[in-house]
Amino acid sequence: MGERTGMLLDHRTYTCRPGTLKKHLALYEKHGWAAQTRHLGMPFAYLTTETGDVNSYVHVWMYEDAADRARRRAAMQADPEWIAYLEMSAEAGYLEKQENKLMVPVPFVPAPTRAGG
């Protein structure tokens, strides 16, 4: 198989203070989801943890490349609705830490398709 091009995955793991995960996700669903998906499209995955650190969740966003990611994220960061959500999230104080990894698929596994746009 040839090498794949045109795919960058942004894998993000967030950890909430114990007992606040559901509150954090409810705040995001109400105030952040629409703005984020308007700019980034639908995530490849958005998952809560069943085992291990049950105060954490993961989401994965797909981009064509680093330039596509930078363009979409810059537009999101300039969106007043997203800015308002970030302020609400910071004020709530539910998040303890965040880890981001930019990843590319290996060439021998079939490519996932973008879920959304």
Model pTM? 0.85
pLDDT value at residue 43: 96
Average pLDDT for the chain: 91
Q: In this structure, which topology does domain 17-98 adopt according to CATH?
A: Alpha-Beta Plaits (3.30.70)
Tokens of 52: 């291990």
Give the model confidence (pLDDT) of 36-63 as tens digits. Answer: 999 999 999 999 999 988 999 999 999 9
Counting residues of the chain whose pLDDT is more than 90, the rounded percentage is: 79
Tokens of 72: 């979409």
Judge whether 72 and 39 are in contact, CB under 8 Å.
yes
Judge whether 81 and 34 are in contact, CB under 8 Å.
yes
Stated as kind and residue range, the H or E segment containing 61 is strand 56-63
Residue ranges per structural domain of the chain: 17-98
Give the model confidence (pLDDT) of 83-108 as tens digits. Answer: 999 999 999 999 999 999 999 988 88
